[in-house]
């Protein structure tokens, strides 16, 4: 069983997005779409005390980009 995570687990979300959406360009994903992508991740369980906001989505996007760049460097 996968560990549950919520909106504040931005590092876990970024890693999961890289694994689940390998061909996606984070810079072309709108925040409304990003939210849906995160909510569809296995193990995602939002905490009602910590709802999502634009700042969280921006951080997820930033970390997703970093994860992709790290993966590219590892392949070289």
Domains of the chain and any CATH numbers: 10-75 (1.10.10.600)
- C-beta atoms surrounding 65 within 10 Å: 15
Neighbouring C-beta atoms of residue 19, cutoff 10 Å: 12
The tens digit of pLDDT for each residue in 16-50 reads 999 999 889 999 999 999 999 999 999 999 999 99
Q: What is the pLDDT of residues 53-62, one digit of tens each?
A: 999 999 999 9
pLDDT band at 74 (very low <50, low <70, confident <90, very high): confident
Output the pLDDT for position 3: 82
The model carries a pTM of: 0.90
pLDDT, residue 2, reads 62
In order of 1, 6, 8, 15, the CA distances from 51 in angstroms are 24, 9, 9, 20
């Amino acid at each position: 069983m996968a560990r549950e995570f919520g909106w504040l687990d931005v590092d876990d979300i970024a890693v999961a997005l890289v694994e689940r959406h390998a061909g996606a360009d984070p810079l072309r994903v709108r925040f409304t779409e990003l939210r849906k992508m995160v909510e569809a991740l296995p193990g995602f369980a939002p905490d009602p005390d910590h709802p999502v906001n634009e700042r969280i989505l921006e951080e997820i996007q930033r970390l997703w980009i970093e994860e992709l760049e790290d993966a590219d460097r590892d392949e070289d």
